[in-house]
C-alpha cells in the first residue's frame, strides 16, 4: 500500500516548503515586534525621570547648576539646553539605541536608553 507521501508531487513539496518557511518567518516577525524602550534619567543614585522613547515630549531636569532641557521625539532623545560651561552633552547628539548614553557631568545628569521588554508592573502611581 502506498503511503500518503507518494501522492505529493514535486510542485506540492515546493508549495508546502514555501508556506512552511513563510509561516515560520511570520512567527519570527510577530515575536520581533518593536519592544518598549525607554529613557531613564538619573542623577547620582537618584532616578529623576523615566519615559517611553516612543512618546514625544520635552522636560526640564534640575541639576546642581540649573536646568537641563531634554527633548524626546521621533529621532530619539537629546539634550538641547544645558547650564554647563562646555555644552559637551548637547554636542553628543541624539541617543536612540539600547545602551546609548548622554551625560552632563557638571550638572550630574545621566541619560540612558533602557529596554523594557517586560511591561512595567503598573501604569500610574497613586500617592
Binding residues for other proteins, per CB under 8 A?
Answer: 4, 7-8, 12, 15-16, 19-20, 22-23, 26-27, 29-30, 33-36, 54-55, 57, 119, 121-127
Q: Tell me the closest approach of the beta carbon of residue 76 to other proteins, in angstroms.
A: 17
Q: Which is nearer to other proteins, 7 or 85 (CB)?
A: 7
DSSP label of 53: T
Taking the CA atoms of residue 20, residue 24, residue 26 and residue 29 in that order, the dihedral angle to the nearest 10 degrees is: -160
Helix (H) or strand (E) holding 27: helix 10-31
Q: Tell me the closest approach of the beta carbon of residue 48 to other proteins, in angstroms.
A: 13
Q: How many CA atoms lie within 13 A of 99 on its CB side?
A: 0
Q: Which is nearer to other proteins, 25 or 85 (CB)?
A: 25
Amino acid at each position: 500500500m502506498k503511503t500518503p507521501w507518494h501522492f505529493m508531487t514535486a510542485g506540492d513539496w515546493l508549495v508546502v516548503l514555501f508556506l512552511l518557511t513563510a509561516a515560520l518567518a511570520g512567527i519570527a516577525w510577530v515575536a520581533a515586534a518593536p519592544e518598549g524602550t525607554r529613557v531613564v534619567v538619573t542623577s547620582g543614585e537618584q532616578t529623576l525621570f523615566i519615559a517611553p522613547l516612543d512618546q514625544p515630549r520635552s522636560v526640564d531636569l534640575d541639576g546642581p547648576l540649573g536646568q537641563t532641557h531634554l527633548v524626546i521625539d521621533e529621532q530619539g532623545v537629546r539634550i538641547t539646553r544645558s547650564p554647563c560651561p562646555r555644552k559637551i552633552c548637547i554636542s553628543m547628539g541624539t541617543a536612540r539605541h539600547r545602551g546609548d548614553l548622554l551625560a552632563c557631568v557638571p550638572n550630574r545628569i545621566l541619560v540612558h536608553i533602557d529596554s523594557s521588554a517586560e511591561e512595567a508592573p503598573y501604569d500610574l502611581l497613586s500617592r
